[in-house]
Structure 1
Amino acid sequence: MGVSKSKSRCATVGIQGIAWSFGGMIFALVYCTAGISGGHINPAVTFGLFLARKLSLTRAIFYMVMQCLGAICGTGVVKGYGKMLYESQGGGANVVAPGYTKGDGLGAEIVGTFVLVYTVFSATDAKRNARDSHVPILAPLPIGFAVFLVHLATIPITGTGINPARSLGAAIIYNKDHAWDDHWIFWVGPFIGAALAAFYHQIVIRAIPFKSSS
């Protein structure tokens, strides 16, 4: 019983550590790149913003290609620094965990990406920025926190994709059969989630006028 509780506690700490790492790094990257590219480091987010007509098709494609190349290079660096640990952890490739169906994995990726992309829309909304001057400064914080929360919820199901570039880089460098078995989920799910977030924000939320407080 004691050993079982200890393993469970270690697993929980491990998930929290991974979630904090991803959330913190996304916060830092968005903060650092916001003035250069608008903080585009995720094809799903880029796709959602494209659907919302916030950037052109040419720029969206260019961003997605660069995101994927960056993920491939980054995964290669990780493998080069610790090959044994890298191999023992399956190269960080996203797969649907045992006990869950592909439908479960797809649903987790859709919901997780929806949360992330909708947070991006909310944190960068022009109407809200005009009303609340502090929003642009704080924008990276809720985005990073959304990534943290989504990781807490979906790591046990899919290892958390919500970023097709991250999933592609891991699959290409690891390049084992099981890394590709569920790979489609980590493109289809995030893109559906991003599309739903764009639709919800542009059609539903933007159609509701803001009430100014007197």
Structure 2
Amino acid sequence: MTHAGGHINPAVTFGLFVGRKVSLIRALMYMVAQCLGAICGCGLVKAFQKTYYNNYGGGANELQPGFNKGTGLGAEIIGTFVLVYTVFAATDPKRNARDSHVPVLAPLPIGFAVFMVHLATIPVTGTGINPARSFGAAVIYNKEKAWDDQWIFWVGPFIGAAAAAFYHQYILRAAAIKALGSFRSNA
């Protein structure tokens, strides 16, 4: 996301903004581009795979039967927290110096986090965690059900992303700096 330079998720971009890794203007421009890209991508799927597209409701996210809005919102918050925290941990520039004996490519843990979040949240919301993807599918599918709970797929990921950025940057990082400081003064 940051090292490769590819921003494909407004929630991750928002988390990076909260963590002061991306400027406000850049974050907003990325989010506009992400949403336009998602609309174009969904349009292509509809154009080239119409039968599958219609069979699967255009891929539009919606709250699954038996779950209330609070549960859906909670699933999106927690799922996006896991994703954005993993992005911060995997792309942390200080991590390379600390864990140089553990050669890990950032996409591997990020991809695994996305996979695990999908396993947990598909039964609840169909897995949003990416507002652009949810928005693009809703715009192209454009049926009432696709828009009913669209707010969940923006509010949840943005809250989860902000919480993950805050936790990583201001709690974990601050605790690590404080611990290092007391370790040095005792040494």
Matched residue SS, 2:175: coil
Amino acid corresponding to residue 169 of structure 1 in structure 2: G
Match of residue 178, structure 1, among 142, 145, 155: 145
CA contact (8 A) 1:86 1:92 kept: yes
Matched residue SS, 1:103: helix
Amino acid corresponding to residue 71 of structure 1 in structure 2: A
CA contact (8 A) 1:44 1:194 kept: yes
CA contact (8 A) 1:97 1:157 kept: yes
Aligned-residue Cα RMSD (Å) equals: 1.8
Amino acid corresponding to residue 129 of structure 2 in structure 1: I
For structure 1, the residue ranges without an aligned partner over 5 or more in a row are 1-29
Tell me which residue corresponds to 1:188.
155
Give the deviation of 1:203 after TM superposition.
1.4
State yes or no: 1:118 paired with 2:79.
no
Offset from partner CA, 1:55-84 (integer Å, 9 cap, x none): 111111111111111111110111111112
Tell me which residue corresponds to 2:130.
163
Q: Superposed, which structure 2 residues align to 1:1-214 within 5 Å?
A: 34-35=3-4, 38-133=5-100, 138-209=105-176
CA contact (8 A) 2:3 2:91 kept: no
CA contact (8 A) 1:43 1:164 kept: yes
Describe the shift of the 1:90–1:134 C-alpha distance in structure 2 as closer, same or farther (beyond 3 A): farther
CA contact (8 A) 1:124 1:136 kept: no
Residue-pair matches, total: 179
State, as a whole percentage, how many aligned pairs show the same letter: 74
Give the deviation of 1:136 after TM superposition.
7.7
Matched residue SS, 1:138: coil
Describe the shift of the 1:178–1:203 C-alpha distance in structure 2 as closer, same or farther (beyond 3 A): same
Matched residue SS, 1:54: coil
Matched residue SS, 2:42: helix
CA contact (8 A) 1:124 1:135 kept: no
Amino acid corresponding to residue 136 of structure 2 in structure 1: G
Amino acid corresponding to residue 53 of structure 2 in structure 1: Y
Q: After TM superposition, what 4+ stretches of structure 1 lie above 3 angstroms from structure 2?
A: 133-137
Give the deviation of 1:135 after TM superposition.
6.6
CA distance, structure 2, for counterparts of residue 34 and residue 128 of structure 1: 13
CA distance, structure 1, for counterparts of residue 170 and residue 11 of structure 2: 19
